[in-house]
Amino acid sequence: MKESLFAKIYVIMALAIMALITICILLVAPAYAQEQPNLRDRADELYRRYEYANASVLYEKLANRRKPRLQDLERLADSYTKMNDYESAEKWYSSVIEHEDSAPENLRHYGQVLKVNGKYEEAKQQLEAYASLAGDRESVARQIAGCDSSMVWIKQPTGHHVQNEAAVNTDLSEFATFPNDGAVYYTGEPGKGLGFNSYGWTGNAFLRIYSAKRSTDNRLSSPQLADAVPNDERYHIGPIATDNTGSTLFVTRTYPGKEGEVTKERRKKYRTQNLELYIYTKTSETGQWEATPFPYNDVQKYSLGHAALSNDGNILYFASDMPGGYGGTDIWFCKKQTDGSWGTPVNAGSAVNSEGEELFPNIGPDNSLYYSSDGLVGMGGLDIFHAEGSGDRWSESKNLRYPINSSGDDFAYIGTLEDEENVYGYLSSNRTGGKGADDIYSFTLDKPKIIIILQGTTSDKQTGARLAGTAITLFDGEREIVARQSSTREGTFEFVLDRNRVYSVLGTKEGYQPDSAAVSTMGIVKSDTLEVALLLEPEFVVGQNIELENIYYNFDKHNIRPDAAEILDRLVQIMNDYPTLKIRLSSHTDSRGSDEYNMGLSQRRAQAAVDYLVGKGIVRERMIAQGFGESQLVNKCANGVPCSREAHQANRRTEVTVLEY
């Protein structure tokens, strides 16, 4: 038995995750002397055979004696750890470290169990204590960093909404969903009484493939043993994946034959049943499945499983502990050759793989990789990571953080649906609060929205001092009120705007004239922050001109242009906000035409502006229209002076003057 690899993977796989599960069967057991083995001998034998469920029962009897042996306590705690019963493991490791002969290594084990139970502060204390006593901080540095990161991530969760799929989960293990039309395949432990052989590691039945219905909102229901896929092997079956047609299955199973890896321990021989990958193809003639072993299986040397296809079907990713990797189990891949065969396996590289275990690869819609690892900084046992790229070229892997990840084992992440607003999918976890050992969870993620922020300031125009308590009103293009607020003590305000809209923002404050500004979000395609500064003049003084953009007219016309109407609308707002205000609208012409004609034209222009305001509900008696003709030019363009069209336009204007307030 390769303790550095399979004992750990057994923990991850057999019960909870079924990554690279191994089944060890006693082949040769020399006869004991004529005496009956005692309780400890039987417990130790079960422990060596990886039958932790049975061994733990006997070790508990030994541990509850008045002076228990340290090794009995250690093996009891380790058995519960391998069974993923971390609460019981925590209880017994707390007894282990109190034993007078306990080694520093037990502090490390205790800290790891505390971390899986989400007790990050306590876990960090035990890991720090181990580092101090053993002089070995390097081996626990990643775990300590994981404790620190986890406490931050829990306080700052991502936008994922995670929900237990209670309709398919039981008190046993269910995990590793794969979509199939309006249904999913998943891996699960059959209940007792269904006639399946049990597995000594967990005491539960060997894993089988199940199916469940999938609704339009991604919820699961109606679980049953899958009858449309191979499901009759001797040991574990699953997980399963398909190509995009559903006519090819990639099935992970425990090798059922007698040619598995054989190891020796204490004069006994054990056979390790490694994982292997089988490819099933449905024949068009009979509709039956034809099984073909993956050409790179080698059950005498390593395990291989957890297949996932790239979206174009040309790359097959999988997990394996074959030689040449970076640690325990790595992500590998094969490329499809021109003749349809699979090329030589290639390691996915150090950006993805670590010294620990990498398992359960899945490929996202953009061909990015989602997988689980216990060899990177994470929250618990296995965490889910994401990397962008292909083959053996990947970006740095990123932890998907809380709540996708938890203090437990989180794995088998797969996206299933995507619409304009959300991404949907599933993951598997043995996190606290579930129904069983491993449960299936659905998740939704709101897509990042384009957020447009309007940030503004309100200031005294004369002094530049910020004005607190200014009433800020946001209008849409139809002059409908969208939102209101007051500027802060620092004279600032902020609104969230919609895309492709036209707005105006008005600032009013007692003792000051209002100010406004136009804002547009038309054509903005990514999140942005717009800025505006409102400068408020002190209140009206008789004879003072109200500063609005000049109201211009076309040559020899007195009708109100659309741009002039927008300016007059702002004057309407001022008149409504200050009901005692009386004004004069003074209109002017350019120098072209006779003086007498221009005087009449300017009067008609001033009157047109007054009439527009009356049409907007302003009382006529509050306004005087007065034409000044060409008597008050703003430039040199007098009679006989050649000027451009733009220069003449500057003289065709209407101004607003305070008469009474």
Q: What is the SS3 string spanning 106-171?
A: HHHHHHHHHHHCCCHHHHHHHHHHHHHHHCCCHHHHHHHHHHHHHHHHHHCCCCEEEEECCCCCCC
Q: pLDDT tens digit string along 58-106?
A: 999 999 998 999 999 999 999 999 988 899 999 999 999 999 999 999 9
Q: What is the pLDDT of residue 271?
A: 63
d(CA 301, CA 319): 14
Q: Which residue has the higher pLDDT, 482 or 353?
A: 353
Residue among 6, 51, 46, 8 at smallest CA distance from 29: 46
The answer to whether the beta carbons of residues 443 and 424 sit under 8 Å apart is yes
Answer positive or negative: Cα dihedral of 573, 577, 580, 581.
negative
In this predicted structure, which of 213-222, 304-313, 532-541, 558-567 has the lowest mean pLDDT? 558-567
- Give the domain ranges of the chain: 35-155, 160-446, 449-539, 540-661
Q: pLDDT tens digit string along 191-246?
A: 876 667 777 677 788 899 999 999 988 899 999 998 877 788 888 999 999 998 88
Q: pLDDT tens digit string along 288-316?
A: 888 999 999 999 999 999 999 999 999 99
Taking residues 576-592, what's their average pLDDT?
87
Q: What is the pLDDT of residue 525?
A: 80
Quote the distance between the C-alpha of residue 322 and its chain's center: 32
Judge if the upstream peptide bond of residue 365 is cis by omega within 30 degrees of 0.
Answer: no
CA distances, 304 to each of 294, 317, 479, 660 (Å): 9, 11, 67, 90
CATH superfamily of 449-539: Carboxypeptidase-like, regulatory domain (2.60.40.1120)
CATH code of the domain occupying 35-155 = 1.25.40.10
List % helix, strand, coil for the chain (3-state, nearest 5).
25, 35, 45
Q: What is the pLDDT of residue 564?
A: 76
Quote the distance between the C-alpha of residue 231 and its chain's center: 34
Residue among 209, 251, 248 at smallest CA distance from 227: 209
Residue 291, strand partner residues: 280
The answer to whether the beta carbons of residues 559 and 619 sit under 8 Å apart is no
On the question of pLDDT at 22 being above 50, the answer is no
CATH code of the domain occupying 160-446 = 2.115.10.20
Q: What is the pLDDT of residue 578?
A: 81
Task: Note the helical H segments in 616-653.
Answer: 645-651
Q: What is the pLDDT of residue 275?
A: 93
d(CA 327, CA 477): 62
On the question of pLDDT at 479 being above 50, the answer is yes
On the question of pLDDT at 548 being above 70, the answer is no
The answer to whether the beta carbons of residues 115 and 407 sit under 8 Å apart is yes
Q: pLDDT tens digit string along 256-279?
A: 887 766 565 555 555 678 999 999
CATH superfamily of 540-661: OmpA-like domain (3.30.1330.60)
For residue 102, the SS3 value is coil
For residue 268, the SS3 value is strand
d(CA 434, CA 412): 16
Answer positive or negative: Cα dihedral of 569, 575, 576, 578.
positive
What mean pLDDT is reported for the chain? 86
Question: What is the helix (H) or strand (E) element at residue 611, kind and residue range?
Answer: helix 595-615
d(CA 570, CA 578): 13
